[in-house]
Chains A and B, each alone.
Chain A
Amino acid sequence: MSEPMNGVLPRGVTQKKFNAAVERFRALLGEENVLVKAEQLIPYSKIMMSVESAAHAPSAALTANTVEQVQGIVKICNQYRIPIWTISTGRNFGYGTAAPVQRGQVILDLKKMNRIIKIDPDMCTALVEPGVTFQQLYDYIEENKLPLMLSFSAPSAIAGPLGNTMDRGVGYTPYGEHFMMQCGMEVVLANGDIYRTGMGGVKGSNTWQIFKWGYGPTLDGMFTQANYGITTKMGFWLMPRPPAYKPFEVIFENEADIVEIVDILRPLRIAQIIPNAVVIANILWEAGSAHLRRRDYIAEPGHTPDHVLEKMQKDSGMGAWNLYAALYGTQEQIDVNWKIVTDAFRKHGKGRIVTQEEAGDKQPFKYRAELMSGVPNLQEFGLYNWRGGGGSMWFAPVSEARGSECAKQALLAKRILHKYGLDYVAEFIVGPRDMHHVIDVLYDRTSDEEIKRADACFNELLDEFEKEGYAVYRVNTRFQERVARSYGPVKRYVEHAIKRALDPNNILAPGRSGIDLDAYETRRRAKIASSDES
């Protein structure tokens, strides 16, 4: 009988070796957990990258149920030099979804490892496996009437805390900086060892989810946005549900108002008067989230002109910028902070404050209020219908929480996007001192020409922002190698030295955040050769 032939193979792996590895995977995991048929792999194909599907096609996908199986998988991968791309729920959407960074990588899907191992309502901690979704946690908390509140990103219900935190994603509550709230990880290393961070290595310890730092070097951060191990458990802190909660919106009519908005907001954030990760969304982010569609306003291709945006503002009551924040605590605390907040904005004289009572069920206020109070929804997916064609790549440079800086970034991004006929669809997620300036580069996936344009646009955004000293905090899988270059050669040297020490066979997600021993070595040799020639 002839051996099965694959059109897609991992880099440097022969068909014969691949088939042998697949047989070993089947023996370890069972036939149903080793997916090699085309119709099984289409769900893992890229949907949000500006390149053909083939460039990120997986050769297979594996699903594991236990930590022991993950250990067995890395053993087989080492033996056959099979690169694996691990996903937990695979739902980071504009940052790449489930598809691997390199064609042929085998996807390790941890969706079946979905146990909520522990929630401690006294200590307000949780320990979960990678496949646990926020909806699962939400249901658990509701069913058990626990006085706790979740923080999650906008895909909320269907995404998961482990994947989002490992990608250093953010949410919208006072616990919105998710990695800051992470406490304790279990990681399967490339050699199959199980490493527990923080207090997790101490036999009998009951403080793994309580105290982050443990003893000696603290390595948790090293495993985020990285390929040094496979995280199979993660602990994190949960916010106690406050007795009172007051979401509000401040609507600003002019694009230039961003300078004052941020400068008013910064001291309120740093002093924790406003404790949550505030959002400042522009008119198009609002429109998409409210399920408006571009074609209802304009038929011409290209970017949406300012006069149309102004008409949309007028028709919908949305602002050029729309700030969403919330106050949490006892009613007395909220009353005090509400006065401070309203005084600050009234002094400015421009923003129009909208309370929950005034907004009612109106979108996008409703879904923002839900997200800020830990109630999941899928409202923001409406952005994919704004332009038509469903393509989305998130460009997310970090900015100082300083008005002039935000205005500078907004203008720069808008100019570049408009040059490529695309819209500036943006929100700032406000930390005390930083802003995640998240721009949804929306494009039509049915148009070759527009896909190429979006790709060129994204590259120019990266280039031009870098010239100004800006870089992104996270990026779509397609651009990970490019972004790694922004952070300088010494960082890359250190990252590859760690990779060499922990994963010498380069089996764990080579290419993740630009860390790939083979590509690094190839570039190093090329550099030596070119310097020899000159």
Chain B
Amino acid sequence: MNANRRFVLKSMVLGGAAGVVLSRSMPLLAGVPPSHSGIRPALALVGGGVAEAAFLQGAMAAAGAQLRVQQLDQSLSSMLDFEQRLRAGRPLRVIGLLDDAAATLVLDLARSAGARVPWLGQHTAEAGSTRHRLLNTDLAEGCTRQLSRLLHACGAGFTLDEERQGSVAPARQLAGPARNGAGSAQWAAGVGYLLAALDAHPAMTPRVSVQGTLPSGSFVSFSIEV
């Protein structure tokens, strides 16, 4: 292999690159048990923004110390290192919230590594509302309803479309009107919680306290297993 290839997937101490909120959370997590039995260890891949920090907050609320976090950018070295991890021959569960470019690459590498993807979500947040388009499987049963409830509770307007891979059922479309002002990155925390707890099928998604207003942007969430 290329000797110059750097290991750029930096193992991030929780919160290190994901903003103030995470840094504050860091000491609380050592030894914190997962919220439900049956939650398996996972690696969370995130970018460095506010929504990603909220995603991690939600994921940590579900998985506690079972969660490892790595920051990922779309550089070639990052992607090749991630590919090596996928192909290392060890079981690996990866969840994440990334921008469109990085997620496109991650999901493509996942396919080549023969990974399973029970959840693929596209999310846009702008002007006090959010849009979500999910492609998932029976393994994510109930998650869409929970996310919808959470989005309702947040009070920002939203649309949520769900397609079930391989299903004959038509896509499900849910929507909620805006009931308050700017909204928050709560949706990302909810997605983080749901993905971290995907195996445990929690009955409800708790509202994780998230600071800051709704950041605009476009993101992709995923759950990948090899």
Contacts and interface: CB of A to CB of B under 8 A. Distances in A.
A448 B171 CA distance: 12
A47 B107 contact: yes
Chain A CB within 10 A, most for which of B107, B135, B139, B217: B135
A157 B76 contact: yes
B80 A57 contact: no
Contacts of B217: 295, 388
Nearest to B107: A43
B104 A444 contact: no
A390 B120 CA distance: 13
A39 to B, nearest CB: 4
A39 B122 CA distance: 17
Nearest to A135: B80
B149 to A, nearest CB: 20
A42 B137 contact: yes
Interface string A405-421: 00000000000000000
Nearest to B171: A52
B163 A43 contact: no
A158 B108 contact: yes
A205 interface: no
A105 to B, nearest CB: 13
Contacts of B120: 42, 45
A333 interface: no
Contacts of A6: 166
Interface string B157-168: 001010111111
Given A38-B137, A446-B122, A381 B105 contact: yes
Contact of B117 (A7, A39, A57, A139): A39
Interface string A377-394: 110011111001110000
Contacts of B100: 384-385, 388-390
Contacts of B99: 384-385
Contacts of B138: 38
A445 interface: yes
A41 interface: yes
Interface stretch (A89-97, A172-180, A519-527): A89-97
Contacts of B74: 378, 381-382
Contacts of B43: none
Contacts of B216: 295, 299
A64 interface: no
A257 B136 CA distance: 48
B104 A448 contact: no
Interface residues of B, number: 53
A54 B136 CA distance: 12
B146 interface: no
Contacts of A90: 108, 111-112
B76 A377 contact: yes
Interface in A1-59: 6-8, 37-45, 47, 52-54, 57, 59
A89 B112 contact: yes
A75 to B, nearest CB: 24
B218 A54 contact: no
A43 B167 contact: no
A445 B166 contact: no
For chain A, the bracket of interface size reads: 35 or more
Best-surrounded residue of A42, A91, A93 (most CB of chain B within 10 A): A42
A7 B112 contact: no
A496 interface: no
B83 to A, nearest CB: 8
Interface in A127-176: 135, 138-139, 142-143, 157-158
Contact of A7 (B110, B132, B168, B220): B168
Q: Which of B75, B117, B161 has the most CB of A within 10 A?
A: B117
A63 to B, nearest CB: 8
A139 B124 contact: no
B103 interface: yes
A246 to B, nearest CB: 23
A353 to B, nearest CB: 28
A42 B222 CA distance: 11
A530 interface: no
B124 A388 contact: yes
A384 B105 CA distance: 11
Contact of B104 (A44, A111, A384, A388): A384
Contacts of A142: 2
A534 interface: no
A272 B114 CA distance: 44
Interface in B74-112: 74-76, 79-80, 99-105, 107-112
Contacts of A57: 165-166
A134 B107 CA distance: 18
Contact of A381 (B2, B104, B127, B132): B104
B166 A7 contact: yes
Given A142-B2, A389-B122, A42 B80 contact: no
B28 interface: no
B116 A40 contact: yes
A447 interface: yes
B118 interface: yes
A3 to B, nearest CB: 15
Interface in A265-304: 295, 299
B161 A448 contact: yes
B79 A139 contact: no
22 contacts: A7-B168, A8-B166, A38-B137, A41-B166, A42-B118, A42-B165, A43-B111, A53-B165, A57-B165, A111-B112, A157-B79, A158-B79, A295-B216, A376-B76, A378-B79, A381-B101, A382-B74, A384-B104, A388-B100, A390-B101, A446-B124, A448-B159
Interface of A: 6-8, 37-45, 47, 52-54, 57, 59, 63, 89-91, 93, 97-98, 111, 135, 138-139, 142-143, 157-158, 295, 299, 376-378, 381-385, 388-390, 444-448
A-B complex: 4 closest residue pairs judged by Cβ atoms = A390-B100, A43-B111, A388-B218, A38-B137
